[in-house]
């Protein structure tokens, strides 16, 4: 909980040191929901980097609602992320679902993502807390602010101070027009309660690519420190989360629209 200065999370990517925090530029993280092939992840990395993203996202292990849905390419996807990292110089963020994969994921990832569905997996939180990798902690589907901060506290208490909180929409009652409801008020509420950097994921929050830019603008206006956005070379063909993914021209346009509002470079 809040005690003094805003904290900074510094990440050493192959090309530069990026700092997440209140007194730093808004850090844009972009990439597909799932890493689908080496070609698509390298292509995406180069395109999002050219448009101004600082980190490449992409799931190797996917927490799908249905066990019959695509579960991610696992270790092969990690190899492809490593290639994308060396080709683009971007930092890598990818989800850890199981502590058994923590070591291999850590060999590629600069930031470990804990997904919404694992926000209260306390044994996993303790394990990422025992590493020195920055952790991107997504808010649970129905988690209160207090629940979420207590989960962050598990990581901090285990010795890892590098936590970024990510609001990604919470469950309300509409399932048709929005996938989740983006809790913009979480930004000023957290600002007052915690020193940790705050990220917003307008892609999972809305489930619809056409809503992503307006929600990102709202998030910047409310004071977020980072944005995570899903980008896919061909959203219609995506193996997961196509409807909420921006294509490359959409992402370029997105960056043009948000840049005047925030501090980016
Ligand atoms: C994701 O980032 O692709 C993801 C599964 O996010 P969340 O955990 O927020 O649903
Ligand atoms: Mn996704």
**Model confidence over 10-44: pLDDT tens digits?**
999 999 999 999 999 999 999 999 999 999 999 99
- Quick one: pLDDT band at residue 261, thresholds 50, 70, 90? confident
Which amino acid residue places its CA nearest to atom 10 of ligand 1? 116
CA distance 156 to 145: 16
Tell me the sheet residues that pair with 91: 55
CA distance 258 to 90: 20
Which amino acid residue places its CA nearest to atom 3 of ligand 1? 33
Distance, CA 238 to ligand 1 centroid (Å)?
15
Q: For the whole model, what pTM was predicted?
A: 0.97
Tokens matching residue 232 = 């896919």
Report the pLDDT value the prediction gives residue 17, as an integer from 0 to 100: 97
Q: Cα 174 vs. chain centroid, distance in angstroms?
A: 23
CA distance 51 to 229: 13
Please give the C-alpha separations between residue 245 and each of 85, 176, 188, 234, 236, in angstroms, as whole numbers.
Answer: 21, 17, 27, 9, 9
Q: Which numbered atom of ligand 1 lies nearest the CA of 139?
A: 9
Task: Answer yes or no: are the C-beta atoms of 9 and 162 closer than 8 Å.
Answer: yes
Task: Answer yes or no: are the C-beta atoms of 215 and 17 closer than 8 Å.
Answer: no
Q: Counting Cβ atoms within 10 Å, is residue 43 exposed (0-12), middle (13-18) or buried (19+)? A: middle
Confidence check: pLDDT of 1 > 60: no
CA distance 229 to 53: 10
Q: Which numbered atom of ligand 1 lies nearest the CA of 240?
A: 3
Tokens matching residue 74 = 């696992």
Question: Domains of the chain by range and CATH?
Answer: 9-258 (3.20.20.70)
Report the pLDDT value the prediction gives residue 57, as an integer from 0 to 100: 98
Report the pLDDT value the prediction gives residue 5, as an integer from 0 to 100: 87
Distance, CA 4 to ligand 2 centroid (Å)?
34
Report the pLDDT value the prediction gives residue 248, as an integer from 0 to 100: 98
Which amino acid residue places its CA nearest to atom 4 of ligand 1? 115
The mean pLDDT of the chain is 96
- Three-state SS sequence of 172-208: CCCCCCCCCECCCCHHHHHHHHCCCCEEECHHHHHCC
Looking at all shown ligands, the one closest to residue 136's CA atom is 1
Distance, CA 177 to ligand 1 centroid (Å)?
19
Distance, CA 4 to ligand 1 centroid (Å)?
31
pLDDT cut 70: percent of the chain above it: 98
Q: What is the ipTM for the molecules in this complex?
A: 0.99
Distance, CA 3 to ligand 2 centroid (Å)?
33
pLDDT, one tens digit per residue, over 187-207 is: 999 999 999 999 999 999 999
Tokens matching residue 245 = 């993914």
Q: What is the mean pLDDT of residues 239-255?
A: 98
Looking at all shown ligands, the one closest to residue 245's CA atom is 2
Question: What backbone phi and psi angles, to 5 degrees, belong to 231?
Answer: -135, 135
pLDDT, one tens digit per residue, over 114-137 is: 999 999 999 999 999 999 999 999
Report the pLDDT value the prediction gives residue 109, as an integer from 0 to 100: 98
CA distance 10 to 168: 22
Residues near ligand 1 (Cβ within 6 A) = 33, 59, 63, 115-117, 138, 168, 204
Which amino acid residue places its CA nearest to atom 6 of ligand 1? 115
CA atoms within 13 A on the CB side of 189: 11
């Amino acid at each position: 909980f809040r005690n003094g200065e805003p904290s900074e999370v510094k990440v050493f990517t192959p090309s530069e040191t990026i700092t997440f925090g209140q007194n730093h530029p808004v850090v844009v993280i972009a990439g597909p929901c799932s890493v689908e092939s080496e070609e698509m992840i390298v292509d995406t990395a180069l395109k999002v980097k050219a448009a101004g993203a600082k980190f490449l996202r992409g799931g190797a292990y996917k927490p799908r609602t249905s066990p019959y849905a695509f579960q991610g390419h696992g270790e092969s996807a990690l190899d492809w992320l490593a290639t994308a990292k060396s080709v683009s110089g971007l930092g890598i963020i990818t989800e850890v679902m199981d502590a058994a994969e923590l070591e291999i994921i850590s060999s590629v990832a600069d930031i470990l993502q804990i997904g919404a569905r694992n926000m209260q997996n306390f044994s996993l939180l303790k394990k990422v807390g025992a590493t020195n990798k920055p952790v991107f902690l997504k808010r649970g589907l129905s988690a209160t602010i207090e629940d979420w901060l207590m989960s962050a506290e598990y990581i901090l208490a285990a010795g890892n101070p590098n936590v970024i909180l990510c609001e990604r929409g919470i469950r309300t009652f509409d399932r048709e027009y929005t996938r989740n409801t983006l809790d913009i008020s979480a930004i000023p509420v957290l600002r007052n309660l915690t020193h940790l950097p705050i990220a917003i994921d307008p892609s999972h929050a809305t489930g619809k690519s056409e809503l992503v830019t307006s929600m990102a603008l709202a998030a910047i206006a409310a004071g977020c420190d980072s944005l995570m956005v899903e980008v896919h070379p061909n959203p219609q063909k995506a193996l997961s989360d196509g409807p909420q993914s921006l294509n490359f021209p959409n992402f370029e346009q997105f960056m043009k629209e948000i840049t005047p509002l925030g501090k980016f470079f």
